[in-house]
């Protein structure tokens, strides 16, 4: 997964919710564009959740991006 692919999906308008799929099987939901932050030249991203918690993610551990079908309500992990 490249940061370019993440950036392209992140800036899509209208925004489409998606998961960051990790190598260990976790799926981290990105429900809104403001729930994800990263620097284009960095390996780290921050994903925030509705309960106010967040997770730091090494982008080298992201194995894929998965669009949420029909934009259904997401559940954390």
CA distances from 22 to 14, 38, 45, 54, 76 (A): 25, 16, 13, 15, 14
Residue 24: alpha-carbon gap to chain centroid: 15
Token pair for 17: 């919710």
Question: How many folded domains does the chain comprise?
Answer: 1
For residue 55, being part of any structural domain is answered with: yes
Q: Quickly state the pLDDT bin for 69 (edges 50, 70, 90).
A: confident
**Chain segment 1-58, per-residue pLDDT in tens:** 678 899 999 999 999 999 999 999 999 999 999 999 998 788 999 999 999 999 999 9
For residue 76, being part of any structural domain is answered with: no
For residue 77, being part of any structural domain is answered with: no
Q: What is the SS3 assignment for 5?
A: helix
Q: What is the SS3 assignment for 12?
A: coil
């Amino acid at each position: 997964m490249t940061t370019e692919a993440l950036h392209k999906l992140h800036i899509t308008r209208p925004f489409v919710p998606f998961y960051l799929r990790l190598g260990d099987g976790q799926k981290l939901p990105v429900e809104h564009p403001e729930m994800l932050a990263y620097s284009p030249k960095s390996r780290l991203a921050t994903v925030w959740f509705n309960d106010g918690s967040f997770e730091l993610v090494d982008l080298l551990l992201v194995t894929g991006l998965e669009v949420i079908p029909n934009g259904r309500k997401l559940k954390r992990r």
